[in-house]
C-alpha cells in the first residue's frame, strides 16, 4: 500500500513538474537573441480575451495603448493560441511588409482559406494568383467589366431602399458586392445555388478571429462546415457549366484562358479556392467599411453637404439624368475619394501588415523570431507629425494629394509590399459609387448607431439609413440646400 502511495506521489510530482516546466516555457519562449518585452498571458489563451475587448473604432484599443506605454512600440504577446509580436513602429512595419511574404494568418483563418489556396502557397503560386487578379481587378478590368455593374446594382438597391423608407448599409453593400462578383465569376447562376451561397455567409462574420479548435458547436466548426458547403456549391455550378457548355462569367474565362494558354495549369479545385478567397476577403472588409464611412458622414453635416454638391453636379451635367456613370465621372468624384481616404486613415485601428518571418529579424536590441506572427499597426495614421490633429476627421487634408494611391510610407490601410491588398481599387470603386447613389437622396442615420471594433468593425445597433423617394435630388438645382 505504501509502495502504491509512493508511486502515485511520484507520478503526480512528475506531472506537476512537467506542467510547471511547460508554463515556464510558455511564459519565456526560446529565442536566438533578446525577445521584445511583454507577457505571453495564460497558457494557450494568452492575452486573447483582453485583445478582443470591443473598443471605439477610431481609437486604438486599451490593450494596445496600455502595452505601448508599458513596453514601447514593439512587444510580444500570445493571441489565438499563437506567439505574436506587435509593432507600432512604422519603419519596421514597412521593412517587414516589403521583405517578408508569408501571410500572418491564424490557423482558424488558414483553414477557411484552404491549404491549397494559391495566395497561401509558395512564392511562384502567389505571384501567379496576383498577376491573374490584376487582369480581373486592375483599373482596365474595373473600367471595362465592373463599373457598369456596380453602378446598376447600387442604383437598384438605393431605389428599393427609398421605396421601403430605410436601407441597411452593410447588407446592401454586401449584396451589391456578392452579386457583382458572382456574375463576373460564374456568369448566371441558378437561383437556388445563389441563395444557398448567400446563406452560407451568415456563418462567417462572427467567427473570423477565433481559437483554432475545430470542435462541433464552435464558431470555427460552423465556419469550416459553411466553407465546405460553399466550395461544393461552387464546384457543382462550375462542373454543370462545363458539361452543358453554358457561358461562364468573364473571370472564369480569364482563369481558364490562363489555364489553357499559360505554362502553369490551375486545377478546378485551385480555381474555385482562388475565387472563394475573393468572395470571403471582399465581403468581410468592404461592406463594413462602407457602413462606417456612412456613419462618419452622418456625423459631419459639412461633409454631407459637400458630397451632395459633388454628386448633384455630376448628375446635373448629364443630358439624361439616369444615364449610367462613366469612368470619367468616377475619376471626377474627387471629394468622395478624399472622404474615403480619410475614413480609411482614421478607422484602420487593426494591423495591416500581417506576416510570419521565415528567418529571425533584428529590430534594434530585439529579435523577432522566425515562425512568430508579426502584426504591424498603422500607427503612422495617428502621428501628429504626418497628420495635423490626427484624431479629427478632416477629408480636406487630402486636397491636392494623389487620391489614386493606395499605399505610401504614411498611409497603409491596404498593407504594403508583396501582399498589398489586390482588391483595393475594386473596394474604392464600390465605396465611391455607393456614396454617389446615396448622396442623391437626403438621408439620415439614427444617433444611437455606433461603430465598435472587435477586431472587425461591428454595429451593435445596426447600420440603417432613413431614406425616401421624396428626398431624391433630381438635378443640380437642389445642390447646396
**Residue whose C-alpha is closest to residue 375's, from 345, 349, 355, 346:** 355
The mark string for 270-309 relative to ligand HEM (x by CB under 6 A, - otherwise) is -------xx--xx--xx--x--------------------
CB of 344 to ligand HEM, least distance (A): 6
User: Distances from the Cα of 108 to the Cαs of 202, 220, 336, 460, in angstroms?
Assistant: 17, 7, 36, 24
Comparison of 363 and 412: residue with beta carbon closer to ligand HEM: 412
Taking CB under 6 A as the binding criterion, the range among 32-40, 207-215, 420-428, 468-476 that sits at the site for ligand HEM is 420-428
Q: What is the dihedral of CA 467, 343, 424, 380, to 10 degrees?
A: -170
Element (H, E) at 218: none
Cβ nearer to ligand HEM, comparing 119 with 443 = 119
Residue from 210, 311, 419, 453 binding ligand HEM (CB under 6 A): 419
Is 203:223 a contact under the CB 8 Å cutoff?
yes
Sign of CA dihedral 293, 298, 300, 304: positive
**84 contacts ligand HEM (rule: CB under 6 A):** no
Give the binding-site size for ligand HEM (rule: CB under 6 A): 27
Walk across the sheet containing 441-445 and list its strands: 166-168, 464-472, 441-445
CB 180 to ligand HEM: min, Å:
10
426 binds ligand HEM (CB under 6 A): yes
Task: Compute the half-sphere exposure of residue 139: CA atoms within 13 Å on the CB side of its CA.
Answer: 7
Span from 46-54, 61-69, 292-300, 416-424 in contact with ligand HEM (CB under 6 A): 416-424
Q: 121 to 150, contacts with ligand HEM by CB under 6 A?
A: 130, 137
Residue selected from 85, 422, 438, 451 as contacting ligand HEM according to rule CB under 6 A = 422
**Per-residue H/E/C for 275-294:** HHHHHHHHHHHHHHHHHHHH
Told to check if 427 binds ligand HEM by CB under 6 A, we report yes
Q: CB under 8 Å to 72, separation ≥6 — which residues? A: 37
- Single residue of 297, 333, 353, 457 touching ligand HEM by CB under 6 A: 353
| 421 labeled binding residue | yes
The reply to whether 174 sits near ligand HEM by the rule CB under 6 A is no
Task: Let me know if 450 is exposed, middle or buried by CB neighbors in 10 A (0-12, 13-18, 19+).
Answer: middle
Residues that bind ligand HEM (CB under 6 A): 97, 103, 119, 130, 137, 277-278, 281-282, 285-286, 289, 352-354, 413-417, 419-423, 426-427
Amino acid at each position: 500500500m505504501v509502495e502504491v502511495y509512493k508511486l502515485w506521489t511520484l507520478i503526480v510530482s512528475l506531472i506537476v513538474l512537467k506542467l510547471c516546466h511547460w508554463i515556464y516555457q510558455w511564459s519565456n519562449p526560446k529565442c536566438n537573441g533578446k525577445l521584445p518585452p511583454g507577457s505571453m498571458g495564460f497558457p494557450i489563451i494568452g492575452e486573447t480575451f483582453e485583445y478582443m475587448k470591443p473598443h471605439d473604432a477610431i481609437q486604438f484599443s486599451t490593450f494596445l495603448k496600455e502595452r505601448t506605454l508599458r513596453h514601447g512600440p514593439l512587444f510580444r504577446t500570445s493571441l489565438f493560441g499563437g506567439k505574436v509580436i506587435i509593432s507600432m513602429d512604422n519603419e519596421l512595419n514597412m521593412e517587414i511588409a516589403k521583405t517578408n511574404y508569408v501571410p500572418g494568418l491564424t490557423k482558424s483563418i488558414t483553414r477557411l482559406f484552404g491549404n491549397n489556396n494559391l495566395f497561401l502557397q509558395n512564392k511562384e503560386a502567389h505571384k501567379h494568383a496576383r498577376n491573374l487578379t490584376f487582369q480581373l481587378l486592375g483599373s482596365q478590368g474595373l473600367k471595362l467589366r465592373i463599373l457598369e455593374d456596380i453602378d446598376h446594382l447600387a442604383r437598384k438597391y438605393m431605389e428599393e431602399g427609398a421605396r421601403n423608407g430605410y436601407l441597411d448599409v452593410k447588407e446592401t453593400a454586401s449584396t451589391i458586392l456578392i452579386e457583382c462578383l458572382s456574375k463576373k465569376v460564374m456568369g448566371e447562376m441558378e437561383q437556388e445555388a445563389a441563395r444557398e451561397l448567400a446563406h452560407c455567409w451568415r456563418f462567417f462574420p462572427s467567427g473570423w478571429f477565433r481559437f483554432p479548435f475545430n470542435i462541433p458547436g464552435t464558431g470555427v466548426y460552423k465556419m469550416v462546415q459553411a466553407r465546405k458547403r460553399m466550395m461544393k456549391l461552387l464546384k457543382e455550378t462550375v462542373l454543370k457549366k462545363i458539361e452543358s457548355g453554358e457561358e461562364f462569367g468573364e473571370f472564369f474565362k480569364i482563369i481558364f484562358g490562363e489555364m489553357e494558354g499559360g505554362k502553369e495549369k490551375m486545377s478546378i479545385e485551385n480555381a474555385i479556392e482562388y475565387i472563394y478567397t475573393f468572395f470571403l476577403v471582399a465581403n468581410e472588409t468592404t461592406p463594413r467599411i462602407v457602413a462606417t464611412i456612412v456613419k462618419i458622414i452622418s456625423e459631419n453635416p459639412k461633409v454631407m453637404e459637400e458630397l451632395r454638391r459633388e454628386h448633384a453636379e455630376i448628375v446635373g451635367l448629364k443630358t439624361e439624368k439616369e444615364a449610367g456613370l462613366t469612368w470619367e465621372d468616377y475619376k471626377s468624384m474627387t471629394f468622395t475619394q478624399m472622404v474615403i481616404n480619410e475614413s480609411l486613415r482614421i478607422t484602420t485601428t487593426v494591423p495591416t501588415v500581417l506576416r510570419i518571418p521565415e528567418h529571425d529579424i533584428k529590430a534594434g536590441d530585439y529579435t523577432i523570431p522566425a515562425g512568430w506572427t508579426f502584426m504591424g499597426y498603422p500607427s503612422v495614421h495617428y502621428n501628429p507629425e504626418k497628420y495635423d490633429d490626427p484624431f479629427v476627421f478632416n477629408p480636406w487634408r487630402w486636397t491636392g494629394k494623389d487620391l489614386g494611391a493606395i499605399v505610401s510610407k504614411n498611409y497603409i490601410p491596404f498593407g504594403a509590399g508583396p501582399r498589398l491588398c489586390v482588391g483595393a481599387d475594386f473596394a474604392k470603386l464600390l465605396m465611391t459609387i455607393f456614396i454617389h447613389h446615396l448622396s442623391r437622396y437626403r438621408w439620415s442615420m439614427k444617433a444611437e448607431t455606433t461603430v465598435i471594433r472587435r477586431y472587425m468593425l461591428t454595429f451593435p445597433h445596426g447600420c440603417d439609413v432613413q431614406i425616401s423617394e421624396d428626398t431624391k435630388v433630381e438635378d443640380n438645382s437642389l445642390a447646396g440646400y
